[in-house]
Every structure is written in C-alpha cells, then in structure tokens.
Structure 1
C-alpha cells in the first residue's frame, strides 16, 4: 500500500449458522473460516466433553468484494455465528439470530428437515431477510446415487420453503468434513468454494447507524488467561474507536418484587417446565417462578406481594458478603459459610407429578 493512501475498506456481514443438532454446523464454520476467535469451533472444555455446541461460536471468512457491493478495492468479511442446535439451548440460538444479516440453514442431507431445523427456520423468518440452505454430509450418500439423492432433497426443501419468505433461496450441497469427525484433516471439504460464491452473491450492505450514543448489546463474554475478561457484541447505535473509554452499567438483579434463586435446580434442568409454579421463601413471602437464565441453573422469582423489608436486608447482607470475598479469600468464605449461612433465605417448591399425565406437566398440590 502506498504511503498516505487509505487502507482498503472491509465490509462486514454477520452470517448465522443454524440447524438441527449434529447437522454439521461447526464443521461447516471451520471449513469456511479463515480466522477463528477464542470462542470458535467448540473450544470450550464443556463442549468438547459433551460433543455438542453449547455457546455461540465466532469466526470469519475474508474474501474479495463482490461487484454488487460497490466499486473500488476492498474486502468482504463474513462473520460466522455458529449457533447451538440442541433444543434446550433455544435461548442461545435466539440470541445469535438477533445479530445476523444472512442465515445459513444447515440440513443433514440424509435426514432432511428435523425438529430444530423447523424451529431455526421460524427464527430466521423473524430475524433476517435472506437465507442459504446448505445440504451437508453428501459424502454419506452412495456415489452412484449421490446426484439423484441431492436433487430429490433439493426439491423437498423447495417445497418446504415455498410458503415462507425464503421461497426460491439458493440451496447448496456440501460435505464440510468428509469421513466424519474422526477423519484426517487432509480430507478436503466438498462444495465449500461453491458455497462461498453463493454467499458472496447473497451479500448486501446491512443498515448501520453510527449516530447517537454508543450502545452495544453484549453477545458473548469470556476470559483470556493473563488478559482478563473480554466482551463481544453488536453495536446498536453510535460508534467507538481504539482507546475510547466505555461505561459498563451494572444490572440490578433484585427489586421489591423479584429475586434471583439458585441451587434449587441442576444446571442442565429445563426450567421452562417449572415456569408458573408457586414457591415459598423461608421468610414467608410467596412467589411464582418466572424463568431461568440460560444454562446457569439460576432462575427468577416474582413476588406479587413484594418483599418484606427484613427480607431485603437479609438478601442485601448476603450479596455484600459474597462480593467482598475475593479469589484469594475462598477458604475464608468456606469457613464463614459453615458458621454463618451464606444463603439466609431458602426457597421451597412443592409439587406432585401425575404418573399418567400424558403431557408430563409439573402439577402442584
């Protein structure tokens, strides 16, 4: 680049990778990406242990700027948002869908539309304007019948989409990881270059408003050893430059009519089953379970009659005690917990489950 000349512009388009669990979304993101973030490709130990995507993954693909995005030198960056496919992680999927401009619906070509495929399609119709269907795992089809099977599945998908906003959208057949997860890395993916060209043809300039105060919704938060906490997100308004100071507002997790509960459910519990059930605090107030917070096991309780002043004092004291205990005071915190309860207000949930209830609902007595 000549001295004094402006750097080539980089236009960014957020592409969501959505689909049913085990359809090969993460393998596709890996095959497409030129750069992976610290949150890409299921690097979290929990994801590796369970063999599924548990959180949003971020990576990017940089390619030449297509003609429809304007003349002049520049690059097009596709930021790939790899969303989980498991039904219990639907809130995380919705969180990812809120920030995408273009959606890739990944379909296992040997299975077609599945339950979460349909759910992702509904989310896509709300969240974005354009979609590309990716028929993945074509390497599992017998080579002699591969082309006819792809054509048959393509017609099925076209029929499925004909009454949606994505009617007539591109459908591309690929094998992101031929041979499956255990196959050697030397195996080259099939159809990925064709998919990139289709993505380029569907790319458009999203509407971004740089005016107003800087406001960013946090989409992902993680820590890097030796560096600290990193937050990534979507800028809703305004702009920010390198070296600027930003304010991170503190959220008030408790008011006069709600509290946050913990340790009543396991982290993997689907708290939606318990929404609407009545609970009772050890201080006498009665409440209703409003919902959970992702996969943390925590949940919100609404107190219609409001909290008693003495209950608020107990909860405030417990919160202050917890915040004062730093990482180096873990042993002191454990010792003090034995002598003085670290959670003075307990929650009681009483219910009975009818054995022959066909809907398997939680029924309170």
Structure 2
C-alpha cells in the first residue's frame, strides 16, 4: 500500500519485509538494528516475550530510505520520494507456526535469518517453505558472525554461504543473495554501545532487491489484519495491510460482525486463568466429557477463553444438542431465578479435560503432554 501525503509533501512507497527464521537466530535483534521507528508491538514488548526470551507475537517496525532509481523509473508518474521498509518480525518457535504464517501473508520480501554457527535448523526449513508460497524474493542473513573466531570467521562464512546456495538450488530462491551480519554483537546481554556489523551493507542490498508491489487502490476495501491489541484509554486497536481499495486520514471504517459456526469447533471456558499465556498450550490434545478428542487451536486475547478443534467427524449430535441447549438457556433465561442445582447442571454441559506433565525441563518452557 502506498501512503501519499497531500499537496507538495512527500509520497512514500511502503514495502513489507518479513523477518523469519529458527527460534533464537537473532530476528528481533536484526529488526531492532535496522529500524528507526517502532510500533507498540515491536521488539518483544509483550511482558511474556521478555520473560521467556523469545518472540510470541508479530512485531512491526520500519525505516525509510530515498527511493532507489529503479523504483523511480517503475513508479512513473506517481513520483514517489521515499521508500519505507516495514519489518514484520515473526516468531521462530514451532508451536507458533500459525502466527508465522499470518505474518508471511503480507510480505513482499523475506529475510531468512540463519544462525551462522548452527546453520540450517528445523524452523529455518519451515520458514523457507512458507516463503515459497507467500513471496517472490528472499535474502538470506547469516547472523551472529561475531561468535566466530576472528581467524576462522571468513572461512566459516564462505562455507555456510555455499551450503545455503546448495540448499536453495531446487527452490524458487536459487538466486537469493546471502549476506553476513552481526545484529547484536556480544549477544542480548551485551552493552548497547556495541554497534551492529554489516547493517549498512544490508540496507543497500535490500534497496536493490525491492520492486513495485502490486496494490489495487480501486474496488472495495480489503485489509489483512496483522495485529489486534488494547491501549489504555483508547480501547481496542487493529492494525493491518491494505491489499485493495484505499483509506484516507479520518475515514470511518465499519467492521461487520462475523459469526462462523461449524461442527468441528468448541469454545472452552474456565479451564485457564485470564492471565494465562495460552501460547504455551497451543496444539495440546484435550478430551471432552462426551467422548470426542480435540486440539487446542487458539485463544481470545486475555479472556481465558480458547478454541478447540475436533478433527475427523467432528462433534456428535448429542454434544451439539447439549451445547445448543446451553446457549439458548443462557440467552433466554427465565423470570424466576434458577436454583443453584439447576445453575450448576447447565453452566458446563460439556467438560474439558487436559492432561500434561507439569514439571518437565524444556529450554523453551513448552508444556509437554503425557
């Protein structure tokens, strides 16, 4: 989406860059080293992200450069002045793959971040596969070069570069450039005075890799929702990328209510406290008291409610009837106050059982199911 200023003011072309890779490869440090402007969701501002030391949600930040000559020629009469890179910092943990895919849907170019010491890892390969489906261009970042011994550094970088080119031979990114950087020399605990290495070279490479994204300003508004969060005193804030149509400052946008019902989804309540980080429980199996088995698929903010997906044949007829009768009773109610026995019998017509090993060591603090 292009963000044009009125009158003689500048016109800025926006270009979305996804930062993907295996957990702890330095994606957030790279986004921080590149960015000059940060959103409320940038650089792991979520307290749970800081506590666990990994990215749990999409982070958004940006930096602006002069418009490259090849884009100026492509843009023609639109005459953009600046190019804004919006960085979409995606999680790297396997359990957050849905969040990763959500971030990849809006990117124009992918930065695949690789720990130069560890090389290609499990989620590196998964992110590469996601990139093949979602974006046409990619740049491989060999990060953490400061961890290599100085006398062996260049040889190790050359070896890893050859290995990445070999890996990319059979993909759509066979000609993707590979660049080595040290986004946070010394690691996360190092002093801020330590300057990143290779960032200016990376910015020039990114400028050369840009193209004019296809955006359709005509037709009805179509926006991909990237992030939804609350700000004290303001309420719920929704951010996104406009894929079709156009918006101007102070335009009113109406979001229609959307209700999707099917025979494969159950909304659970009262199993978790409101402050529970539901990301820890994503993908775990649960059992319904009516006999079905399901998988925890997602949560609803900090409400404590969560969504269960029942695969296979879905919910049986008896379960659907129980859930339906409970909803009707909750909505309709009665003039006479129900007894405590009636209230208890109808408050939870279907129980949910989650079984897992509570104290199992795991470096990422992920729940291990028994």
Distance 1:120 1:251 in 2: 31
**Cross-structure match for 2:309:** 300
Q: Does 1:81 align with 2:92?
A: no
Q: Do the aligned partners of 1:263 and 1:297 also contact (CA within 8 Å) in 2?
A: no
Distance 1:337 1:131 in 2: 61
SS at match of 2:317: coil
Distance 1:140 1:107 in 2: 13
Q: Point out where structure 2 has 5 or more consecutive residues left out of the alignment.
A: 1-5, 74-78, 334-338, 358-367
TM-score (norm 1): 0.82
- Please list the CA deviations of residues 205-234 of structure 1 after superposition, one character each: whole Å capped at 9, or x if unmatched: 111112221122322001112222110112
**Cross-structure match for 2:191:** 184
Q: Do the aligned partners of 1:256 and 1:306 also contact (CA within 8 Å) in 2?
A: no
Q: Where does 1:1-40 land on structure 2 (aligned, <5 Å)?
A: 5-40=7-42
**Cross-structure match for 2:365:** none
Distance 1:337 1:10 in 2: 62
Q: Do the aligned partners of 1:210 and 1:238 also contact (CA within 8 Å) in 2?
A: yes
Q: Do the aligned partners of 1:223 and 1:229 also contact (CA within 8 Å) in 2?
A: yes
Runs of 4+ displaced beyond 6 Å = 336-339, 350-353
Q: Do the aligned partners of 2:268 and 2:352 also contact (CA within 8 Å) in 1?
A: no
Q: Does 1:107 align with 2:109?
A: no
**Cross-structure match for 2:71:** 69
**Cross-structure match for 2:126:** 119
Quickly say closer, same or farther: Cα 1:352–1:21, change in 2 above 3 A.
closer
2:268 counterpart (261, 272, 285): 261
Distance 2:48 2:10 in 1: 39
Displacement, 1:14?
A: 0.4
Count of aligned positions: 333
1:279 counterpart (270, 279, 288): 288
- Please list the CA deviations of residues 81-118 of structure 1 after superposition, one character each: whole Å capped at 9, or x if unmatched: 00000110011000001110100000001111001101
Displacement, 1:310?
A: 6.2
Displacement, 1:258?
A: 4.4
Q: Does 1:228 align with 2:235?
A: yes
SS at match of 1:23: coil
Q: Does 1:289 align with 2:294?
A: yes
**Cross-structure match for 1:206:** 213
Q: Where does 1:232-251 land on structure 2 (aligned, <5 Å)?
A: 232-251=239-258
CA-atom RMSD in angstroms: 3.2
Distance 1:73 1:303 in 2: 54
Displacement, 1:128?
A: 0.5
Q: Point out where structure 1 has 5 or more consecutive residues left out of the alignment.
A: 322-335, 354-360
Quickly say closer, same or farther: Cα 1:278–1:213, change in 2 above 3 A.
same
1:345 counterpart (334, 345, 349): 349
Distance 1:294 1:11 in 2: 35
Q: Does 1:315 align with 2:319?
A: no
SS at match of 2:32: helix
Larger mean CA deviation between 295-304 and 141-150 belongs to: 295-304
Displacement, 1:347?
A: 2.5
**Cross-structure match for 1:97:** 104
Distance 1:319 1:119 in 2: 44
- Please list the CA deviations of residues 327-359 of structure 1 after superposition, one character each: whole Å capped at 9, or x if unmatched: xxxxxxxxx999944843223559999xxxxxx
Distance 1:91 1:249 in 2: 24
Q: Do the aligned partners of 1:278 and 1:349 also contact (CA within 8 Å) in 2?
A: yes
Displacement, 1:253?
A: 5.0
Distance 1:206 1:146 in 2: 37
SS at match of 2:183: coil
TM-score (norm 2): 0.81
**Cross-structure match for 1:328:** none
Quickly say closer, same or farther: Cα 1:234–1:287, change in 2 above 3 A.
farther
Displacement, 1:163?
A: 0.9
